[in-house]
Amino acid sequence: MRRIRRRAGFAIVTMGILAGLTGCGEPVSDADLFDQAREVNFTYKAAVADVQLQILDGEWEIDQYGDRPQSCDSDGYRFRMSRATPPEWHLDGTPAEAAERIGAWLDENGWTDITARTYTDGITDIVVEARNPDAHIDRLTVDISPGDNYDIGTIYADSTCQPGDSHTIASAMLPKDSAQATPRALLEHPADPPSFGYNDDGTPRYWPDN
């Protein structure tokens, strides 16, 4: 494993939005928990979108959209998303050059624990990993895979574990009739506004304050 560059000092991780909402031991309403989760999700996705734009300023294929809360620890939730470049994408330079370029950009933009590694001998893929707790990102993984006809860039991102019940948040995201939920688009540009949850008619819900 090769560490691209080590930043001086240590990142100061704040307690998160929930502390501001709860006050001193006050219970959090379901509505406040939902709003907190939405803010975390949009901050996390915006940071990932900035990384995507360093690789491709165009539409990406969606695997995991990234707004479904998953349980973590004993009473927390987190988000997980993944994006892949379309088949027509081609790598600019070698995988090692791309990894160096991405790693340098991450370092200059507040990311920490930046590493680059390969798999085994004979496999030319390079993986860049990093963290950004201030943007609620516990782990970012960028997999760069060259091919004979086209190349593939894949981004995986796990958010930090946040306090709150994942089932409560997920229930508030669904339309009144969950069977009416409209499938999401298969492609998305990093600059497209993210949705979070669904409207009552089953369409993805977009928020005017984002």
* Alpha-carbon span 156 to 142, nearest angstrom: 7
CA–centroid distance for 68 within its chain: 12
pTM for the whole thing? 0.84
pLDDT (tens digit per residue) in 75-98: 999 999 999 999 999 998 989 999
DSSP string, 28-51: PPHHHHHHHHHHHHHHHHHHHHHH
For residue 178, give the nearest of 194, 206, 199, 207 by alpha carbon. 199
pLDDT (tens digit per residue) in 21-62: 444 457 789 999 999 999 999 999 999 999 999 999 999 999
146: domain range?
28-188
118 to 95, 108, 141: CA distances (angstroms):
10, 23, 12
152-159 and 80-84 as β-strands: parallel, antiparallel, unpaired? antiparallel
Q: Is residue 193 part of a domain?
A: no
What is the token pair recorded at 96?
Answer: 């090692």
* Alpha-carbon span 25 to 29, nearest angstrom: 12
Q: Is residue 210 part of a domain?
A: no
Count up the domains in the chain and report the number: 1
pLDDT at 25: 55
pLDDT at 47: 99
Q: Is residue 202 part of a domain?
A: no
Q: Is residue 126 part of a domain?
A: yes
Q: Is residue 143 part of a domain?
A: yes
Q: Is residue 154 part of a domain?
A: yes
107 to 103, 129, 144, 197: CA distances (angstroms):
6, 11, 18, 33
* Alpha-carbon span 197 to 195, nearest angstrom: 7
Q: Is residue 21 part of a domain?
A: no
Q: Is residue 12 part of a domain?
A: no
DSSP string, 97-138: HHHHHHHHHHHHTT-EEEEEEE-STT---EEEEEEEGGGTEE
More confident position, 18 or 35: 35
